[in-house]
Amino acid sequence: MPIIVYIQPDGMETSTEVRSGSSVMHGAIHSSVPGIEAECGGALNCATCHVYLEPDWVERVPPASEDEEMLLEGVAAERRPESRLSCQIKVNEELDGLRVHVPGSQF
C-alpha cells in the first residue's frame, strides 16, 4: 500500500499506509491525523480537509476540478498555489511517499 506523510504545522510527521483507491483525507481520518476535520466526509462540500502539497508533488497529483477550486476560495488558512482538498486526491501507487502539510486551522 502507498504511504502518505502528513506534516503538522509544528513539523511533526505521521506516515501511514493508505489503500489505493481511497483518498488522502480518508487515510488521515483512519489514522487519526490531527487537523484534517473532514466535516462533510469527503463530499466536496466543506473544505475542512485542506492541505498543502509539497512543491515537488504538485505536478504529480492530478489537477483540482472546477468545484474543488471554488471551495478552495473559502478555506480558513491561507490559500496557496499548492493548496488542495485531501478528499479529492485519490491514492494510487504513483503517490507512494506523497507529503502533505496540514494547515494550522480548518475553520
Q: What is the DSSP string of 48-88?
A: TTEEEE-GGGGGGSPPPPHHHHHHHTT-SSPP-TTEEEGGG
Q: Average of pLDDT values for 53-64? A: 96
- For the chain, what percent of residues have pLDDT higher than 90? 100
pLDDT of residue 33: 97
pLDDT in tens, 64-107: 999 999 999 999 999 999 999 999 999 999 999 999 999 999 99
Task: Return the C-alpha cell found at 20.
Answer: 489505493
Q: Which of helix, strand or coil describes residue 4? A: strand
Q: In whole numbers, what is the pLDDT of the chain averaged over residues? A: 97
Q: Nearest Cα to 50, choosing from 89, 10, 5?
A: 89
Measured from the Cβ of residue 51, the count of other Cβ atoms closer than 10 Å reads 28
Domains and CATH numbers, the chain: 3-101 (3.10.20.30)
Question: Given pLDDT bands bounded at 50, 70 and 90, which one contains residue 39?
Answer: very high
Whole-model pTM? Answer: 0.96
Tell me, what's the pLDDT at 52?
A: 98
- What share of the chain in percent tops pLDDT 70? 100
Residue 32 backbone class (left: φ over 0; alpha: ψ -120 to 50; beta: rest): left
